[in-house]
């Protein structure tokens, strides 16, 4: 499994973050992301908003499942890029705005060297400190999402085949298991992922939605969380 950024222009290679990396960085220079990327990381802080526009998926990374935004044009109802590869979605994910800085799935901060993204411009100490704060938050969020993804795989909510890059949500486990999970953060992530998958051209059919058609089944199956209500209100995914 390659890293998400390896198809970006140049020969991007990670280097652990240091003071020299914060002293200067490219100014408002970005490539046409859609030409290169199939996936990019999602920030924990933007989950609730980005779920309306792009599917959030778990993909097989080098060290296990990673939570990513799916940018593959042929899979999406409304791709974030045009046919020329130019980003057209009004909101740009934090991971792309932060380039050439990156955070790994395990929460390590790094700068991508040799990334063709413009000439470095010197920055004042205040700007360096601000960038460092954002990068730290992004890294911590990636670590939290990775931990939740691993819980969902261990619990059987996410599964993938031997040759599959993207995990699928196991709807049988979603309905049959007790919905009052001890890992609340992981299960909230699962619900946001499920909500976001409406952005796929062919969305996975979840029998959970069919519960709305049978009140008796709802009473029998519901165990602490009413999925039909959870997904009907935008406030339900503000976490």
Q: Is position 172 within any domain?
A: yes
Give the mean model confidence (pLDDT) for residues 20-34.
80
**Tokens of residue 9, six digits:** 């222009």
Q: What span, in angstroms and rounded, lies between the C-alpha atoms of 189 and 79?
A: 22
Specify the pLDDT at position 213. Answer: 37
Give residue 237's pLDDT.
39
- Confidence band of 142 (pLDDT split at 50, 70, 90): very high
Domain count, the chain: 1
Instruction: Report the pLDDT averaged over residues 167-184.
Output: 74
What sign does the CA torsion over 13, 16, 20, 24 have?
Answer: positive
Asked if residue 4 belongs to a domain, the reply is: no
Tokens of 71: 């940018």
Mean pLDDT value of segment 153-160: 90
Q: What is the rounded average pLDDT of the residues 192-210? A: 75
List the domain range (segments joined by +) for residue 176: 10-237
For residue 204, is it within any domain? yes
Decide if 1 is inside a domain.
no
- The alpha carbon of 226 is separated from its chain's Cα centroid by a whole number of angstroms, namely 24
Task: Determine the pLDDT at residue 29.
Answer: 61
* Cα–Cα distance, 42 to 45 (Å, whole number): 9
For residue 9, the number of C-alpha atoms closer than 13 Å in the C-beta half-sphere is: 11
Distance of CA 155 to the CA centre of its chain: 20
> What is the average pLDDT across 62-87?
90
Give the C-alpha separation, 76 to 84, whole Å: 16
Find the mean pLDDT for residues 81-108: 91
Q: What is the mean pLDDT of residues 2-17?
A: 92
pLDDT above 60 (res 235): no
Half-sphere exposure of 7 (CA within 13 A, CB side): 12
Q: Determine, yes or no, domain membership for 175.
A: yes
- Structure confidence at residue 180 (pLDDT): 54
Which pLDDT band, with edges at 50, 70 and 90, does 228 fall under?
Answer: very low
**What's this model's pTM, rounded to 2 decimal places?**
0.82
């Amino acid at each position: 499994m390659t890293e998400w950024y390896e198809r970006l222009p140049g020969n991007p290679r990670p280097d652990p973050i240091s003071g020299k990396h914060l002293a200067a960085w490219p100014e408002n220079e970005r490539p046409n992301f859609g030409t290169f990327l199939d996936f990019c990381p999602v920030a924990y802080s933007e989950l609730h908003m980005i779920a309306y526009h792009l599917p959030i998926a778990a993909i097989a990374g080098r060290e296990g499942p990673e939570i990513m935004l799916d940018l593959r044009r042929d899979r999406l109802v409304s791709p974030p890029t045009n046919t020329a590869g130019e980003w057209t979605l009004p909101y740009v994910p934090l991971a792309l705005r932060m380039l050439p800085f990156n955070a790994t799935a395990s929460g390590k901060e790094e700068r991508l060297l040799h990334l063709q993204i413009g000439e470095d411009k010197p920055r004042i100490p205040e700007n360096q400190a601000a960038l460092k704060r954002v990068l730290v938050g992004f890294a911590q969020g990636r670590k939290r999402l990775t931990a939740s993804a691993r819980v969902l795989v261990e619990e059987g909510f996410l599964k993938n085949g031997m040759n599959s890059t993207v995990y699928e949500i196991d709807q049988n486990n979603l309905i049959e298991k007790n919905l009052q999970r001890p890992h609340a953060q992981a299960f909230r992530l699962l619900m946001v992922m499920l909500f976001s998958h409406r952005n796929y051209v062919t969305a996975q059919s979840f029998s959970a939605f069919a519960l709305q058609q049978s009140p008796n089944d709802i009473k029998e199956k519901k165990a602490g969380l009413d999925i039909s209500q959870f997904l009907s209100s935008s406030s339900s995914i503000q976490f």
